[in-house]
Amino acid sequence: MPEIQNPNQQGGPDSRMLLFYAVMFLAIFLGLQYFRTRNESVAQKHAPAAASQQTAQKGAAVPASSSEPGAAGTTAKAGKPAAPATPAIEAASETTTVIESPLYRVTFSNKGGVVTSWVLKKYTNDAQTKALDLVNQAAAKQFGYPLSLYSYDQQLTPQLNSVLYKPSATGTLQAPATVSFVYSAGGLTIHKTFHFENSYVLKADVRVTDNGQPVTTLLAWPSGFGDQETLPQYASAQIDMETGAKTGFHILGGPEVKQILPKKVSGGDTIHGPLDYAGVGDLYFASIFLPQNPDNALLVTLHHAMELPVNGAKPDSKAKKNQVSVLGAAVGSTTGEIHDRLFVGPKASGILKTIQTADHYNLEGVVNYSSWWGWISKPMFLLLQFFHDHGIRNWGWAILLMTVIFYSLMWPTRLTMMKKSLAMMRIQPQMDAIKAKYAKYKATDPRKQEMNQEMMDLQKREGINMFAGCLPMLLQYPLLIGFYEMLEGTIALRHAHWLWLPDLSAPDPYHILPIFVILSMFLVQFFTPSPGVDPKQQRMMAFMLPAIFGFMMWNIGSGVALYWAGGNVIGVAQQFIMNKSKMGREMRELAAKRAAKKAAKKR
């Protein structure tokens, strides 16, 4: 983008200030990538400790106080006579039950009464070869399947999730449908009932008793999501700056949404209500519990760790592996029974805002564009979505239309900067005369301060403020970074096609856009006049910045690269027009006179 990458620079303080802002923007952009990598490393270091903490907490004795979770069942068992034995209810063999709708296909196993597959029909896996299964099979085998039960009793939890429940139905059921799982033996009785509608929300009712006394159990989504299979997928899903998490736990106890970064999630911690909703999500999908009674709600945060090969294409045992965090959540009630709703689906704003909690909040807050830039990212996405839904029907073309509008709005700031640059060029001979007057003094001489004062007085008399020329460019930063954050985090770009690009959320597989960014940025430098700039500095701006930004575009989402490339094309066109204007002609004439004067001095 010419107004940032190489603004109209002049000699003297204004040139240095423009270069400072250009470098500052580059530092901010690179900083986004650095903090993501840093947070990923910190999260991986915390993962083993978190897992150990969870194991220690599970192994600890259940609190005896009646105010603590699990105390109801424990106290009753110790202080009351056993209830009459209930008839044994148990299935003879493992069976499956499938609930199907136009949106999903959910497969239950009666072994544990858990979900072994949760397919979203409208979304595909990363290879785009089949519908996406939200169950992370590798993690679920280690840490538990969705809709398993969590208990504060370390010995009871495995039993709850391994016995053969008797299902109310087997085979395939079409939603709306209800399926129940019942188990009873040795005084332990478990009832799990799930009611599915033709939406991403289901109703769950769970009751566990031991000799007739309620046992506090929680319904869990313990092991991440099915789109987290490789190290890059975990990194993009879990790591964000301290300013806002794109994943982690989403907790709402009132009008404010609280999001906890993965590295701050402690396994086995209990969070008490009020909780209007609580759950876990990654970059694009979420599993959110909506308690019927927020005041009595309990949330247990789950943080496991597993190893993945650095090179997913060579997952052999000898390959180098890194640890990743596997997050989960379990939600229940202090009453010992669960009567909650559960949202399992995409983090699409249009869907989330239609889902109401018990206190009439919606789930739109789980989409986090970043707490710093969300105030501009969200309106930008709504405008982008409006273009897509009203005639364009392609996200790539919608991004380019947004780019045209954005650069059109920035046109006045470009003109302002050019006017300020021209004003500085007009007084440049007088500035040079002042510099020549004090050239014989060393830089440490106090009289150099007099030179600076004379130059400032001259600018003041001519109505020139060197900072005013940089202010329009500084005002663009929120818009630029907000647009970047919006394009990086929206599920709408996931697997969205444009011309040769198969996925606007993934890097260009053919690297056409990064190469185009390098070439177009070089053209920006070529057409942007830079009179008075040191030749070495000018070469750096002309060659180094295109190379650096092109390298960044190499591995960034192609939706962002498309916006950047389109902006460069528009910037070249705008600069070409300005160069042909009266101001542009005058700038070239002044630059030519200045160059001729310097050449004459060298002879």
Phi, psi of 592 (to 5 degrees): -65, -45
- Nearest-angstrom CA–CA distance, 401 and 392: 9
**H-helix or E-strand spanning residue 137:** helix 137-143
Claim to verify: residue 417 and residue 499 sit in the same structural domain:
yes
Give whole-number Cα distances, 582 to 212, 244, 532, 577, 589, in Å: 90, 47, 20, 10, 11
Claim to verify: residue 420 and residue 315 sit in the same structural domain:
no
Q: What is the CATH number of the domain that holds 72?
A: 2.70.98.90
Q: Rounded mean pLDDT of 569-575? A: 86
- Nearest-angstrom CA–CA distance, 233 and 506: 11
Read off the pLDDT of residues 26-80 as tens digits, 9 standing for 90 and up: 565 555 555 444 444 443 444 334 333 333 333 333 333 333 433 334 333 444 4
Within a domain: 15? no
Cis ω before 412 (30° cut-off from 0):
no
Read off the pLDDT of residues 236-254 as tens digits, 9 standing for 90 and up: 655 444 434 455 677 777 6
Claim to verify: residue 330 and residue 393 sit in the same structural domain:
no
Nearest CA-CA partner of 346 in 354, 358, 334, 338: 354
- Nearest-angstrom CA–CA distance, 454 and 388: 56
**Domain that residue 224 falls in:** 39-368
Q: Rounded mean pLDDT of 295-324? A: 78
For 74-111, give the secondary structure using H, E and C: HHHHHHCCCCCCCCCECCCCCCEEEEECCCEEEEEECE
Read off the pLDDT of residues 162-198 as tens digits, 9 standing for 90 and up: 999 999 999 999 999 999 999 999 899 999 999 999 9
Q: Which residues contact 525 (CB under 8 A, 6 or more apart)?
A: 5, 6, 541, 542, 545, 546
Claim to verify: residue 249 and residue 203 sit in the same structural domain:
yes
Q: What percent of the chain has pLDDT over 70?
A: 74
- Nearest-angstrom CA–CA distance, 277 and 240: 22
Burial class of residue 185, CB neighbours in 10 A (0-12, 13-18, 19+): middle
**H-helix or E-strand spanning residue 455:** helix 447-461
From 346, 368, 390, the end of a domain falls on 368
Q: What is the pLDDT of residue 484?
A: 75
Largest CA distance in the chain: 112
Residue 389 DSSP one-character state: I
User: Could you tell me if 94 and 238 are in contact, meaning their C-beta atoms sit under 8 angstroms apart?
Assistant: no
Q: What is the pLDDT of residue 141?
A: 94
From 348, 368, 388, the end of a domain falls on 368
225's tokens: 């999501």
Claim to verify: residue 53 and residue 152 sit in the same structural domain:
yes
From 300, 333, 368, the end of a domain falls on 368
Phi, psi of 304 (to 5 degrees): -110, 175
Total of domains in the chain? 2
Claim to verify: residue 308 and residue 415 sit in the same structural domain:
no
Q: Rounded mean pLDDT of 307-323? A: 69
- Nearest-angstrom CA–CA distance, 331 and 333: 7
Claim to verify: residue 413 and residue 473 sit in the same structural domain:
yes
Claim to verify: residue 324 and residue 186 sit in the same structural domain:
yes
Claim to verify: residue 288 and residue 391 sit in the same structural domain:
no
Claim to verify: residue 400 and residue 476 sit in the same structural domain:
yes
Q: What is the pLDDT of residue 69?
A: 39
Q: Which residues contact 534 (CB under 8 A, 6 or more apart)?
A: none
Claim to verify: residue 412 and residue 276 sit in the same structural domain:
no
Claim to verify: residue 363 and residue 387 sit in the same structural domain:
no
Q: Among 102-106, 271-275, 419-423, 527-531, name the one with the lowest average pLDDT.
A: 527-531
Q: What is the pLDDT of residue 210?
A: 92
